[in-house]
Amino acid sequence: MYRNLGSRQIQSMINNFQTPDDFNTDLLINGRKVVYHKCHEISQGGPLVGELSIDGRFIPGQSFGGPLLYNNKLIYVPILVKMFLGSGFKLAIINTDTFKLEIIGNTKSLIFLVKIDGQIYFFEDISKTRYSHYQVEV
């Protein structure tokens, strides 16, 4: 059921198989069990979001999209933000040791994470035409 994956394997899988509406919801990453719960589409045909737990400990009051990226003790994952006239995504960085949650960047209609290479690279659309990045410490 759970797959133990290193960060390079995850990045490779994301690039080849996973999308914001079809991604692994049960992962074992460097000995940590990362699970999405209560996944649902935010709109018909839209990306999936759900609650996120790490080793059974939930990140309270938040909904997260996917697919996620992982580097050492940090998980990089789209987080759903609700606004006055709709919703969007920002980038969440979760420290798996301390469970500290940091939210960065501007609100995007979609964050489709691609790779970590000194920066976090992502697409802003499902058809992969708008490419962007965030500068973060990795």
Query: Where is pLDDT greater, at 40 or 2?
Result: 40
Cβ pair 96, 75 in contact under 8 A: yes
The whole-number pLDDT of residue 6 equals 55
Residue 137: which pLDDT band, with cuts at 50, 70 and 90?
confident
Helix (H, G, I), strand (E, B) or coil at 28: strand
User: For residue 101, is pLDDT > 70?
Assistant: yes
How does the average pLDDT of the chain come out, rounded?
A: 87
Band of residue 30 on the pLDDT scale cut at 50, 70, 90? confident
Closest residue by Cα to residue 30 from 120, 98, 116, 96: 96
The CA angle 130-80-13, to the nearest 5 degrees, is 60
pLDDT higher than 70, residue 61:
yes
Upper half-sphere CA count for residue 68 (Cβ side, 13 Å): 30
> In which residue are the tokens 């970590």 written?
116
- What percentage of the chain carries pLDDT values higher than 70? 88
Helix (H) or strand (E) holding 84: none
Give the single-character DSSP code of 37. Answer: E
Confidence of residue 2 (pLDDT cuts 50, 70, 90): very low
Over 90: is that where the pLDDT of 64 sits?
A: yes
